[in-house]
Structure 1
Amino acid sequence: MQKPLAYRMRPKNIDEVVGQEALLGPGKIIRRMVDAKMLSSMILYGPPGTGKTSIASAIAGSTQYAFRTLNAATDSKKDLQQVVDEAKMSGTVVLLLDEIHRLDKTKQDFLLPHLESGEIVLIGATTENPYLSINPAIRSRTQIFEVQPLDPSDIRTALERALADKQNGLGNFNAQVTEDAMTHLMHVTNGDLRAALNALELAVKSTQPNADGVVKIDLDIIQETTQQGSLVADKDGDAHYDVISALQKSIRGSDTDAALHYLGRLILAGDLPSIVRRLQVIAYEDIGLANPAVVERAVTAIHAAEKLGFPEARIPLANAVIELALSPKSNSAMTAIDAAMQDIQSGRTGDVPKHLKDAHYKGAKELGNGVAYLYPHNYQNDWVAQQYLPDSLQNKAYFNADGNSNVEQAYITQYQKLKAAQKAGLEK
């Protein structure tokens, strides 16, 4: 069985790699390593189909080192041993270890001394942020490079190369791709070259030649072959978290259209639990006291989405996102609790005042606990001046806000009025 086009078109040297100029361009770090034949182990991370395997293959091809590929999740320590044995027999081996974030401790401990000796040049590939997902012992022995999604122009270069290549590509099919079909293919795969190449191969091989022997690929054909194209919000990749982050920052920045765009990407990725969790965080973190009614309506819409499921869930989710984006914003509740927690973590606590301590046990009265407590409901307006914070924090004010809405301004006014009344009452 013939291997997929993306595999067959894999670059054999560094000059054949498309894109990634920041790493492979003249004078850039990986290019300098290859030119000097001074390779060091590295981790390449970025979205699927952006060239991590191609870069590893090209590095090996340009340096004439043996190249082997293993998967950290599925291949065993025995497989690693075979690569090490080969390196000891014939010299340095470049090992591409896919899904390196799933490397367990046993395999890691086996691999580390061979990295340090230089027998193995490890190129780890991952879609997840290595600073969060990869063991520090591996990170400290590697250089970390981020691989970016390819520009549409890079995708086009690779597609045209594949159409012309008679040995490994589609050059023997006499295929012609219309300009609008090419443009669609360049953009719909979101920088994923593997998806673009494999979609092109499916289009060419499933289309019958016309009377002139030309395999003509138009927009309709490309749209059919890319309808399951890659989504940048892939649930299992690091890019997924970038989209979630962009959703929150767009709502926080009151950009409704951007917020709907990122919501749409998450919906198409099918990740309702992440959407539900993040929108509830946004409602309380970024809108909060500025508009409690919107927070309540957003939470109601989110719960409705959970009950409905996709595809109908998109409707209440869109309602929530639009209203959250257009609402006044405030993070005063979050900053208030964070300030209180910062004091506690820094050791600024103090003893609970005696009159607030629990008095529901025998002997509490003898200790003076709860004795002088003033019950607010016994006083006018259910309030009485009384110390609640520990002595060392008595004048502390955690809730500070300018008030971006009438609602929040009312809270702030009441807060300040009560603080002033309490201070005055305690000073009598």
Structure 2
Amino acid sequence: MEKPLAFRMRPRNLDEVVGQQHLVGPGKIIRRMVTAKMLSSMILYGPPGTGKTSIASAIAGSTQYAFRMLNAATDTKKDLQIVAEEAKMSGTVILLLDEVHRLDKTKQDFLLPHLESGRIIMIGATTENPYITINPAIRSRTQIFEVKPLTESDILTAVDQALADKERGLGNYPVEIEETARRHLSRATNGDLRSALNGLELAVRSTPPEADGIIHLTLTVMEECLQRKALTHDKDGDAHYDVISAFQKSIRGSDVNAALHYLARLVEAGDLAIICRRLMVIGYEDIGLANPAAAARTVNAVLAAERLGLPEARIPLADTVVDLCLSPKSNSAYVAVDAALADIREGNAGAVPDHLRDSHYQGAKDLGRGIGYQYPHDFENAWVDQQYLPDKLKNASYYQPKATGKYEQALGQQYQRIQQWRQQHTNSKKN
């Protein structure tokens, strides 16, 4: 049986990797490691179908090392021993260890000395956060890199390559794909290239040629093969973004009915990942300090929705939409950090004041580090009159509290009290 298209199109070297340029692009860390022939074991973590296996395969192809694949959950210690024996014979083996967070102590204890010797270069792949799920003994012997969801442009690039490649892809099929179908393929899979290529291959192989001998892939065909409805059949493809934009703006504008309408359109399109991400952004950007508990509830609802999957996920999502719509709104913290970022990007940063610098090393006092720092807990209210901002920004003010929720009202009152106290101390120094 022929291997799936996603398997056949795996990159043979780093230049063929689609996306993840923050890791494999020119001058980036993994490319540097390969170029310098200084590979070390690593853990790649991120969503399914984003290129973890592809990067491992490309590293092996670029270095000409032997490449083996195992699964930490299902393969045994004996399987690891076979790889170790091969490493002794050939010198170095790159081992892709899928679900590395499932590695038990017996396998781990066997693997550790081989990682330390460099005979096995392990590339662990996981969808779980390795800082939480992976044993510290493994973490300390690896570098950890986050693999990000592919962009629509990345997926379109890979789709076009698969359609053109006559050796590994679908280049021997006479295919014409409508632009709306092509765009739906890139959007409906939410950055999962494996799903996109699987859907494309199914569409090509299951659609009979028409009278002109051409396999015509329409939006309807792609919807069926992906089991994801497009938001609309608009020709310019902007409806996808229009609905997402209207969804957030309806919640920001406290219109429950409109927000539920746009939620329903996104649910019908199967865009669970987009809904979840957008709701968490809204919880912190538009609700913010006016109602922090609503943002926390949003995170919990998103976790529930991801566990449940569609269609049941619509229930916690609907609860959250109503909650966020009717919540008081504040963007004060979001505006404040953007104002601070604007200063930094314009070069207005300045040196950290000497009394705030790290003093926990030999010779720090000789450099004047930490001298004169006053510990706030030694003072009433933990308020102390000392400068925290760099000299060139010492009078900067970024946060402007709003009074749209009880929580931020309380924060605003405390902020004003501290500002007034500081002003009084400044005036007393002048006098």
**C-alpha contact 2:84 2:120 (8 A) present in aligned 1:** yes
Q: Which residue of 1 aligns with 2:152?
A: 152
CA contact (8 A) 1:46 1:127 kept: yes
Question: Aligned equivalents of 1:210 and 1:409: distance in 2?
Answer: 64
Question: 2: distance between equivalents of 1:44 and 1:11?
Answer: 16
Supply the distance in 1 between the matched residues of 2:39 and 2:322 (Cα, whole angstroms): 53
Please, which of 318, 322, 326 is the counterpart of residue 321 of structure 2?
Answer: 318
1:88-127 alignment runs, 5 A limit: 88-127=88-127
The answer for the alignment partner of 1:237 in structure 2 is: none
Contact 2:186–2:196 (8 Å) recurs in 1? yes
Matching residue of 1:207: 207
Q: Is the 8 A contact 1:209 1:216 kept in 2?
A: yes
- Partner of 2:199, secondary structure, is helix
Q: Distance in 2 between matches of 1:149 and 1:26?
A: 20
1:161-204 Cα shifts (integer Å, max 9, x gaps): 11111222111211111112111112221211111111100110
8 Å CA contact retained: 1:44, 1:126: yes
**Distance in 2 of aligned mates of 1:64 and 1:89:** 15
In the alignment, what sits opposite 2:222?
A: 222
Could you tell me which residue of structure 2 aligns to residue 404 of structure 1? 403
Q: Per-residue deviation at 1:404?
A: 2.7
Distance 1:262 1:131, change over 3 A: farther
1:376-400 CA distances to partner (integer Å, 9 max, x unpaired)? xxxxxxxxxxxxxxxxxxx979xxx
Give the letter for the 2:126 counterpart: T
Gaps of 5+ in 2: 230-247, 274-281, 334-379, 383-400, 412-431
Whichever residue aligns with residue 403 of structure 2, its letter is N
Whether the 8 Å contact between 1:288 and 1:329 is mirrored in structure 2 is no
Determine helix, strand or coil for the equivalent of 2:172.
Answer: helix
Q: In the alignment, which residue of structure 2 is the partner of 1:425?
A: none
Aligned counterparts of 2:147 and 2:122: Cα–Cα separation in 1: 16
Contact kept, 8 Å, 2:188 with 2:228, in 1: the verdict is no
2-structure distance, mates of 1:177, 1:202: 13
Provide the rounded CA distance (Å) in 1 between the counterparts of 2:37 and 2:179. 41
- Paired residues of 1:329 and 1:404 also in contact (CA < 8 A): no
- Partner amino acid for 1:112? L
- Look up the match of 1:369: none
**C-alpha deviation, 1:327, in angstroms:** 4.8
Q: CA deviation at 1:22?
A: 1.6
Alpha-carbon separation, structure 1, partners of 2:31 and 2:315: 50
Partner of 1:168: 168
5+ residue gaps, structure 1, are 230-249, 271-278, 332-394, 413-428
Classify the secondary structure of the residue corresponding to 1:85. helix
Q: Residues 396, 80 of structure 1: CA spacing in aligned structure 2 closer, same or farther, 3 A cutoff?
A: same
| Corresponding residue of 1:362 | none
User: Which residue matches 1:365?
Assistant: none
Give the CA RMSD over aligned residues.
Answer: 4.8
Relative distance call for 1:214 and 1:137 in structure 2 (3 A) is same
Task: Report how far residue 83 of structure 1 moved.
Answer: 0.7
Change (3 A) 1:9 1:209: same
2:329–2:404 CA contact under 8 A, matched in 1: no
Name the CA shift for 1:57/1:406 in 2 (closer, same or farther; >3 Å): closer
Percent of counterpart pairs with the same letter? Answer: 59
Residues 79-108 of structure 1: CA distance to partner in whole angstroms, max 9, x if unpaired? 111111111122210000111112122211
The one-letter code matched in structure 2 to 1:221 is V
Under a length normalisation based on structure 1, what TM-score does the superposition of the two structures give? Answer: 0.61
2:183 and 2:215 map into 1 onto residues whose CA distance is 18
Distance 1:79-1:328 versus aligned 2 partners, 3 A rule: same
The equivalences for 1:47-66 within 5 A come to 47-66=47-66
**CA distance in 2 between partners of 1:330 and 1:25 (Å):** 37
Distance in structure 2 (CA, Å) of the matches to 1:214 and 1:11:
28
User: Which structure 1 residue ranges, 4+ long, deviate > 6 Å from structure 2?
Assistant: 259-265, 328-331, 406-412
Query: TM-score if structure 2 supplies the norm length?
Result: 0.61
TM-fit CA distance, 1:68: 0.5
Partner residue in 2 for 1:76: 76
Deviation at 1:318, TM superposition (A): 2.8
Pick closer, same or farther for the CA change 1:137–1:330 going to 2, 3 Å: same
